[in-house]
Structure 1
Amino acid sequence: MFQRPGKNEYLESQERYVSLVPAEGDLLTILKEQTAEMHSLLGGLTEEQGNYRYAPEKWSIKGVIGHLTDNDRIMSYRMLCFARGEQAPLPGYDENDYAAAGEFDRFTLKEMVEHYGIVRQSTLALMASFKEDAWTGRENSMTRK
Protein backbone atom coordinates (compact mmCIF):
# COMPACT_ATOMS: atom_id res chain seq x y z
CA MET A 1 0.00 0.00 0.00
CA PHE A 2 2.95 2.30 0.50
CA GLN A 3 5.05 1.47 -2.56
CA ARG A 4 4.37 1.30 -6.26
CA PRO A 5 4.05 -2.37 -7.27
CA GLY A 6 7.03 -4.07 -8.89
CA LYS A 7 6.91 -4.95 -12.59
CA ASN A 8 6.30 -8.59 -11.67
CA GLU A 9 3.08 -7.61 -9.86
CA TYR A 10 1.03 -6.31 -12.78
CA LEU A 11 0.44 -6.95 -16.44
CA GLU A 12 2.71 -5.23 -18.93
CA SER A 13 -0.33 -3.60 -20.54
CA GLN A 14 -0.85 -1.67 -17.28
CA GLU A 15 2.66 -0.13 -17.23
CA ARG A 16 1.57 3.29 -18.48
CA TYR A 17 -0.94 3.57 -15.63
CA VAL A 18 1.23 2.13 -12.86
CA SER A 19 4.13 4.39 -13.87
CA LEU A 20 1.97 7.41 -13.04
CA VAL A 21 1.64 6.32 -9.41
CA PRO A 22 4.24 7.99 -7.17
CA ALA A 23 7.05 5.56 -6.29
CA GLU A 24 6.42 6.03 -2.57
CA GLY A 25 3.74 7.49 -0.35
CA ASP A 26 0.53 6.51 1.31
CA LEU A 27 -1.86 5.37 -1.40
CA LEU A 28 -4.95 6.45 0.54
CA THR A 29 -3.52 9.95 0.89
CA ILE A 30 -2.61 10.06 -2.80
CA LEU A 31 -6.12 8.99 -3.81
CA LYS A 32 -7.75 11.49 -1.42
CA GLU A 33 -5.62 14.28 -2.90
CA GLN A 34 -6.47 13.11 -6.41
CA THR A 35 -10.17 13.19 -5.53
CA ALA A 36 -9.88 16.77 -4.23
CA GLU A 37 -8.04 17.77 -7.42
CA MET A 38 -10.77 16.21 -9.56
CA HIS A 39 -13.50 18.07 -7.65
CA SER A 40 -11.56 21.32 -7.98
CA LEU A 41 -10.98 20.82 -11.70
CA LEU A 42 -14.50 19.70 -12.53
CA GLY A 43 -16.39 21.92 -10.10
CA GLY A 44 -15.68 25.03 -12.15
CA LEU A 45 -17.02 23.63 -15.42
CA THR A 46 -20.37 24.53 -16.93
CA GLU A 47 -22.93 22.00 -18.11
CA GLU A 48 -22.02 22.95 -21.69
CA GLN A 49 -18.37 22.16 -20.97
CA GLY A 50 -19.40 18.84 -19.41
CA ASN A 51 -21.02 17.88 -22.72
CA TYR A 52 -17.95 18.84 -24.75
CA ARG A 53 -16.47 16.23 -27.11
CA TYR A 54 -13.31 16.92 -29.07
CA ALA A 55 -14.70 14.76 -31.91
CA PRO A 56 -18.20 13.41 -32.69
CA GLU A 57 -17.62 9.78 -31.68
CA LYS A 58 -15.44 10.53 -28.63
CA TRP A 59 -16.53 10.64 -25.00
CA SER A 60 -17.79 13.87 -23.51
CA ILE A 61 -16.22 15.15 -20.31
CA LYS A 62 -19.17 13.56 -18.49
CA GLY A 63 -18.36 10.32 -20.32
CA VAL A 64 -14.78 10.48 -19.08
CA ILE A 65 -16.01 11.01 -15.51
CA GLY A 66 -18.37 8.07 -15.96
CA HIS A 67 -15.50 5.91 -17.20
CA LEU A 68 -13.37 6.89 -14.20
CA THR A 69 -16.27 6.05 -11.90
CA ASP A 70 -16.89 2.68 -13.54
CA ASN A 71 -13.19 1.91 -13.41
CA ASP A 72 -13.08 2.73 -9.67
CA ARG A 73 -15.98 0.32 -9.11
CA ILE A 74 -14.35 -2.45 -11.12
CA MET A 75 -10.92 -2.02 -9.56
CA SER A 76 -12.47 -1.92 -6.08
CA TYR A 77 -14.13 -5.24 -6.75
CA ARG A 78 -10.85 -6.67 -8.00
CA MET A 79 -9.02 -5.38 -4.92
CA LEU A 80 -11.63 -7.04 -2.74
CA CYS A 81 -11.19 -10.31 -4.64
CA PHE A 82 -7.40 -10.24 -4.25
CA ALA A 83 -7.59 -9.24 -0.60
CA ARG A 84 -10.01 -12.07 0.17
CA GLY A 85 -8.05 -14.66 -1.81
CA GLU A 86 -10.60 -15.20 -4.58
CA GLN A 87 -9.52 -18.07 -6.85
CA ALA A 88 -12.04 -17.65 -9.67
CA PRO A 89 -10.88 -15.81 -12.79
CA LEU A 90 -11.87 -12.16 -12.84
CA PRO A 91 -13.75 -10.91 -15.90
CA GLY A 92 -12.37 -8.20 -18.12
CA TYR A 93 -14.42 -5.38 -19.52
CA ASP A 94 -14.55 -3.20 -22.60
CA GLU A 95 -14.54 0.44 -21.50
CA ASN A 96 -16.25 1.57 -24.70
CA ASP A 97 -19.14 -0.86 -24.23
CA TYR A 98 -19.47 0.21 -20.60
CA ALA A 99 -19.40 3.89 -21.51
CA ALA A 100 -22.07 3.40 -24.19
CA ALA A 101 -24.28 1.43 -21.79
CA GLY A 102 -23.78 4.02 -19.03
CA GLU A 103 -25.27 6.82 -21.16
CA PHE A 104 -23.47 9.31 -18.91
CA ASP A 105 -24.62 12.36 -20.85
CA ARG A 106 -28.14 11.88 -19.46
CA PHE A 107 -26.82 13.06 -16.08
CA THR A 108 -25.89 16.59 -15.18
CA LEU A 109 -22.22 17.37 -14.72
CA LYS A 110 -22.89 17.97 -11.03
CA GLU A 111 -24.45 14.50 -10.72
CA MET A 112 -21.49 12.88 -12.48
CA VAL A 113 -19.02 14.60 -10.16
CA GLU A 114 -21.11 13.51 -7.16
CA HIS A 115 -21.21 9.89 -8.43
CA TYR A 116 -17.44 9.93 -8.84
CA GLY A 117 -16.96 11.26 -5.29
CA ILE A 118 -19.32 8.72 -3.72
CA VAL A 119 -17.68 5.80 -5.49
CA ARG A 120 -14.19 7.04 -4.62
CA GLN A 121 -15.19 7.36 -0.95
CA SER A 122 -16.37 3.75 -1.05
CA THR A 123 -13.07 2.70 -2.63
CA LEU A 124 -11.12 4.52 0.07
CA ALA A 125 -13.19 2.89 2.82
CA LEU A 126 -12.56 -0.54 1.33
CA MET A 127 -8.83 0.10 1.03
CA ALA A 128 -8.63 1.38 4.61
CA SER A 129 -10.21 -1.87 5.82
CA PHE A 130 -7.44 -4.08 4.43
CA LYS A 131 -4.79 -5.48 6.73
CA GLU A 132 -1.18 -5.01 5.58
CA ASP A 133 -0.82 -8.59 4.36
CA ALA A 134 -3.69 -8.05 1.91
CA TRP A 135 -1.42 -5.52 0.15
CA THR A 136 1.80 -7.50 0.22
CA GLY A 137 0.72 -11.13 -0.17
CA ARG A 138 2.22 -12.65 -3.32
CA GLU A 139 -0.53 -15.25 -3.52
CA ASN A 140 -2.92 -12.37 -4.29
CA SER A 141 -0.77 -11.02 -7.12
CA MET A 142 -2.46 -8.63 -9.55
CA THR A 143 -0.95 -10.61 -12.43
CA ARG A 144 -3.16 -13.62 -11.75
CA LYS A 145 -5.56 -14.19 -14.59
Structure 2
Amino acid sequence: MKELIHEYAQGYELLRASIDGLSEEQMRFRPAPGKWSIHEIIVHVTDSEIVGLHRFKKVLAEDRPLLTAFDQDKWAAQLRYHELDAGQYLLLFKFLRESFLPVLSRLTEDDWQRVGIHSEAGPMTFAQLLQKYVDHIRDHLRQIERVKAAMS
Protein backbone atom coordinates (compact mmCIF):
# COMPACT_ATOMS: atom_id res chain seq x y z
CA MET A 1 0.00 0.00 0.00
CA LYS A 2 3.01 2.28 0.37
CA GLU A 3 3.29 2.58 -3.41
CA LEU A 4 -0.39 3.49 -3.69
CA ILE A 5 0.01 6.18 -1.02
CA HIS A 6 3.10 7.48 -2.82
CA GLU A 7 1.20 7.71 -6.12
CA TYR A 8 -1.68 9.48 -4.37
CA ALA A 9 0.77 11.95 -2.81
CA GLN A 10 2.27 12.77 -6.23
CA GLY A 11 -1.05 13.84 -7.74
CA TYR A 12 -0.64 17.56 -7.16
CA GLU A 13 2.91 17.77 -8.52
CA LEU A 14 1.91 15.84 -11.63
CA LEU A 15 -1.06 18.14 -12.23
CA ARG A 16 0.97 21.27 -11.60
CA ALA A 17 3.73 20.13 -13.94
CA SER A 18 1.20 19.31 -16.67
CA ILE A 19 0.02 22.93 -16.82
CA ASP A 20 3.31 24.66 -16.08
CA GLY A 21 3.92 27.50 -18.52
CA LEU A 22 0.46 27.48 -20.08
CA SER A 23 -1.12 30.86 -20.75
CA GLU A 24 -4.66 31.72 -19.68
CA GLU A 25 -5.70 31.40 -23.32
CA GLN A 26 -4.21 27.91 -23.49
CA MET A 27 -5.85 26.94 -20.19
CA ARG A 28 -9.23 27.95 -21.59
CA PHE A 29 -8.82 26.32 -25.02
CA ARG A 30 -11.55 23.77 -25.78
CA PRO A 31 -10.49 21.02 -28.17
CA ALA A 32 -14.06 20.64 -29.47
CA PRO A 33 -17.57 21.86 -28.64
CA GLY A 34 -18.79 20.22 -25.44
CA LYS A 35 -15.27 19.17 -24.40
CA TRP A 36 -13.60 20.53 -21.29
CA SER A 37 -10.74 23.00 -21.29
CA ILE A 38 -7.71 22.37 -19.08
CA HIS A 39 -9.11 25.09 -16.79
CA GLU A 40 -12.32 23.09 -16.38
CA ILE A 41 -10.42 19.83 -15.90
CA ILE A 42 -8.51 21.36 -12.96
CA VAL A 43 -11.73 22.53 -11.31
CA HIS A 44 -13.36 19.13 -11.92
CA VAL A 45 -10.43 17.19 -10.48
CA THR A 46 -10.60 19.30 -7.33
CA ASP A 47 -14.36 18.93 -6.96
CA SER A 48 -13.92 15.20 -7.42
CA GLU A 49 -11.22 15.21 -4.73
CA ILE A 50 -13.63 16.90 -2.30
CA VAL A 51 -16.17 14.16 -3.00
CA GLY A 52 -13.41 11.57 -2.71
CA LEU A 53 -12.27 12.71 0.72
CA HIS A 54 -15.85 12.54 1.94
CA ARG A 55 -16.12 9.00 0.57
CA PHE A 56 -12.79 7.98 2.11
CA LYS A 57 -13.84 9.22 5.53
CA LYS A 58 -17.24 7.53 5.30
CA VAL A 59 -15.65 4.18 4.44
CA LEU A 60 -13.16 4.47 7.30
CA ALA A 61 -15.66 5.67 9.90
CA GLU A 62 -18.98 4.00 8.99
CA ASP A 63 -20.11 0.44 8.29
CA ARG A 64 -20.66 -0.17 4.56
CA PRO A 65 -21.75 3.42 3.81
CA LEU A 66 -23.49 4.46 0.61
CA LEU A 67 -21.16 6.42 -1.68
CA THR A 68 -23.32 8.40 -4.06
CA ALA A 69 -22.28 9.22 -7.60
CA PHE A 70 -22.46 12.72 -9.07
CA ASP A 71 -23.03 14.01 -12.60
CA GLN A 72 -19.70 15.64 -13.44
CA ASP A 73 -20.98 17.33 -16.60
CA LYS A 74 -23.91 18.90 -14.73
CA TRP A 75 -21.55 20.11 -12.02
CA ALA A 76 -19.27 21.68 -14.63
CA ALA A 77 -22.17 23.43 -16.35
CA GLN A 78 -24.30 24.42 -13.35
CA LEU A 79 -21.36 25.54 -11.22
CA ARG A 80 -19.86 27.39 -14.20
CA TYR A 81 -16.41 25.86 -13.92
CA HIS A 82 -15.21 28.17 -16.68
CA GLU A 83 -15.85 31.18 -14.38
CA LEU A 84 -14.01 29.77 -11.35
CA ASP A 85 -10.37 30.38 -10.45
CA ALA A 86 -8.41 27.32 -11.60
CA GLY A 87 -5.35 28.50 -9.64
CA GLN A 88 -7.30 28.47 -6.39
CA TYR A 89 -8.73 25.07 -7.23
CA LEU A 90 -5.28 23.66 -7.95
CA LEU A 91 -4.04 24.87 -4.55
CA LEU A 92 -7.13 23.43 -2.90
CA PHE A 93 -6.37 20.10 -4.56
CA LYS A 94 -2.84 20.26 -3.12
CA PHE A 95 -4.10 20.97 0.39
CA LEU A 96 -6.79 18.28 0.22
CA ARG A 97 -4.26 15.64 -0.77
CA GLU A 98 -1.69 16.80 1.80
CA SER A 99 -4.27 16.91 4.58
CA PHE A 100 -5.22 13.26 4.08
CA LEU A 101 -1.70 11.80 3.93
CA PRO A 102 -1.37 11.51 7.74
CA VAL A 103 -4.58 9.46 7.82
CA LEU A 104 -3.33 7.17 5.05
CA SER A 105 -0.02 6.62 6.83
CA ARG A 106 -1.79 5.29 9.93
CA LEU A 107 -4.23 2.86 8.30
CA THR A 108 -4.27 -0.76 9.43
CA GLU A 109 -4.67 -3.77 7.14
CA ASP A 110 -8.30 -3.97 8.27
CA ASP A 111 -8.85 -0.33 7.31
CA TRP A 112 -7.67 -1.01 3.75
CA GLN A 113 -10.31 -3.74 3.47
CA ARG A 114 -13.24 -1.68 4.79
CA VAL A 115 -16.08 -1.50 2.27
CA GLY A 116 -18.33 1.24 0.95
CA ILE A 117 -21.21 0.73 -1.47
CA HIS A 118 -20.87 2.97 -4.52
CA SER A 119 -24.25 3.83 -6.04
CA GLU A 120 -23.02 2.88 -9.53
CA ALA A 121 -19.97 0.62 -9.06
CA GLY A 122 -21.25 -1.42 -6.10
CA PRO A 123 -19.07 -2.61 -3.19
CA MET A 124 -15.54 -1.18 -3.08
CA THR A 125 -12.80 -1.63 -0.52
CA PHE A 126 -10.97 1.42 0.74
CA ALA A 127 -7.90 0.27 -1.23
CA GLN A 128 -9.97 0.05 -4.43
CA LEU A 129 -11.46 3.47 -3.79
CA LEU A 130 -8.05 5.08 -3.28
CA GLN A 131 -6.79 3.39 -6.44
CA LYS A 132 -9.78 4.85 -8.29
CA TYR A 133 -8.66 8.36 -7.29
CA VAL A 134 -5.05 7.70 -8.28
CA ASP A 135 -6.31 6.45 -11.66
CA HIS A 136 -8.63 9.45 -11.96
CA ILE A 137 -5.66 11.82 -11.93
CA ARG A 138 -3.79 9.66 -14.44
CA ASP A 139 -6.82 9.75 -16.76
CA HIS A 140 -7.08 13.52 -16.55
CA LEU A 141 -3.34 13.98 -17.07
CA ARG A 142 -3.74 12.09 -20.34
CA GLN A 143 -6.76 14.28 -21.15
CA ILE A 144 -4.69 17.42 -20.49
CA GLU A 145 -2.00 16.14 -22.86
CA ARG A 146 -4.65 15.53 -25.55
CA VAL A 147 -5.97 19.09 -25.13
CA LYS A 148 -2.43 20.46 -25.37
CA ALA A 149 -1.83 18.42 -28.54
CA ALA A 150 -5.06 19.78 -30.05
CA MET A 151 -3.72 23.33 -29.63
CA SER A 152 -0.98 22.65 -32.19
Change (3 A) 1:129 1:42: farther
Supply the AA of the counterpart residue of 2:105: A
Q: Distance in 2 between matches of 1:63 and 1:47?
A: 12
Residue equivalent to 1:9: none
Q: Distance in 1 between matches of 2:92 and 2:84?
A: 10
Contact 1:63 1:105 survives alignment (8 Å): yes
Query: Which residue of 34, 50, 67 maps to 2:11?
Result: 34
Q: Distance in 2 between matches of 1:70 and 1:123?
A: 15
Supply the AA of the counterpart residue of 1:68: V
Change (3 A) 1:101 1:118: farther
Q: Which moved more, 1:69-78 or 1:125-134?
A: 125-134
Query: Which residue of 80, 83, 94 maps to 1:103?
Result: 80
Q: Deviations over 1:27-59 (max 9, x none)?
A: 221122232121111232111111111112221
Alignment gaps of 5+ in structure 2: 125-152
| TM-score computed with the length of structure 2 as normaliser | 0.65
- Per residue, is there more strand in 1 or in 2? 2
RMSD: 2.4
1:72 deviation in Å? 1.4
Number of residue pairs aligned between Structure 1 and Structure 2: 120
Q: Which moved more, 1:71-80 or 1:126-135?
A: 126-135
1:112 deviation in Å? 3.1
Contact 2:5 2:104 survives alignment (8 Å): yes
Alignment of 1:1-145 (within 5 A): 2=1, 26-137=3-114, 140=115, 143-144=122-123
Change (3 A) 1:66 1:126: farther
- Per residue, is there more helix in 1 or in 2? 2
Residue equivalent to 2:135: none
